[in-house]
Structure 1
């Protein structure tokens, strides 16, 4: 029997060698148990960041992280399909999407996270609903999937504990951007969750983690490859994140906008992306249904209301709005030619909608309403953005973040397609 050591594994990857399955299984398990120290895993993560891992290594790394904890068995009487977004600004798509796909006949086990930095977290948004709770037991998740068809909640601590430990380490060692580690982090949680099919929304643009199309395509390909290796029916949509999605960026404001969509209204881009992802999810789940018609019928809203009530929330309760408001106006006549997603995301974060550290609180009512979007004709002094916060001292820093984030020109800009490409496994 081969005896492995952390130093041998680090040295192998440092020197550009391919890690064996046995080395990967050992080091992930040993790190989870505490037998490999943080400084040793930090060195290995940096070696992976610099020298990469091939598709087989990445698949095995993912498998080892899945095997570090429990795996759910989702026998709920419906085809199971999930969606994961790599994160963006105004990306509230999960909120209307999960009940819509459930209303079409699938079960959607959406185990979500909290926001960090300029990208909002799904759980933070939903926690602005009075009474709603994110923490559910496995039995509660299963019961809700059977009765409602959709659940959005926090992941249980038993799923892929190796990922939770490694994720925190990568955050403080400048190794977050390594594509094999990003891909295995996302996929280990999704595979452990137990859905039969998965659709990925890989964002690209200023407000996304991946700024270039080449980067986003590489990540999407890696994610799909891992999914195929693990027997998932999987697709990845590459979608634009250079402009905020919809008009609301924050927590309660995004819930309000999501409900508008579920009631048959809301911004065109939110409807377009929600329906596109729903179609792909239903196709992967083997369900023949027209999500656009179901959305228009109001059935998806009824499923939303049942989902919120099942988790203790009141879908009819008024939502909090930041008491302090500041309006940004147009400086000239013309067309809004730019509204930078990153600038708006950072401004919302500074207003209190996001957090700098995992333990920081968020303000449910903080956020930004984008009253105009690129392509809209505007006049001098017309309101462009409304900023909301409970902490007025945060407004100057938010305005500083918006400097250069919007521009007005004489001609409307060329529209970038929202869905750029689709990669299927």
Structure 2
């Protein structure tokens, strides 16, 4: 077979195996279905998308409006990000987490998802393994696969607050392990690792020469006595093999603006910047100007949103735990709950007997008109993820519908 002749496996294939194997984002799919049903006139309440219900703060919008009128933002800008935004992120990182970096270690990306993919693409070779604590956000394993890596899941459950241990990570480590993923606060569980746990995982990674990708996008959304500890601050020896991913989407209610960033060693950031220069070029300048206003401002708007999330967190946990068959731990961060609903599987609910949480979520959507993401999307069947980043009235109404429907479950 000549080099120009396609293999028998690929000759009739219209979509590449690499891209064809990627699954749709389950959270976005649930959100899209909920919105379609609402558009059709059904009163669906959506707990699917991780999206604050608040508008972007006015001072950030005003900065974007001003940027629209500035001709310098009507042209190409550096692929790696506006220099003034990179400088502001350096200062924001020092202010918020105590991590000292410089602008050459920062790459501005089109949201956190691009930052995650480009980080993995920059450090993974085909077959490299990445340890992924589960439950995990749906994008992590797909980004790893797209970058040629192999996700290796390590599962934690409600008995440990959905936090994995060093012992679990060590049991999953092989000679092909290159990276460990660390997420605190966590999507989908809201778990927050304490400083001692964070240090232990970081020191284990250093001991074995592993890279760490740490996602800090929920850093400001913590409740009670919980605190989010930046891994390279807790373990400074790790910083030469640590990539931090962050963005403005969750903290500042800017999901649609699409601005994220990664911070890492200079050679990795340079490689990822080169990649981005061919993939997308610069992030939209107006969005970057808005992000500049966000990260340069104080955190008063963030604190106000955090108070609302905390109130909703306590309400949703209480109401879910009133349902027989549901066990809902109290999350310490982000804006999700991740209850176990194993006690409901196989029971009769209005003539249906859901055998798994995919089927249970379908019954809930059809019978209660409430959209929820099943745990299968996050690597752990038997659970549901509900975002409480929606209005108080919708939250209470939605969970009340769940209470009414699931009270009918019988053997």
Tell me, yes or no, whether TM beats 0.5.
Answer: no
Give the strand-richer structure, 1 or 2: 1
Please report the TM-score for the alignment, with normalisation by the length of structure 2.
0.31
Please report the TM-score for the alignment, with normalisation by the length of structure 1.
0.30
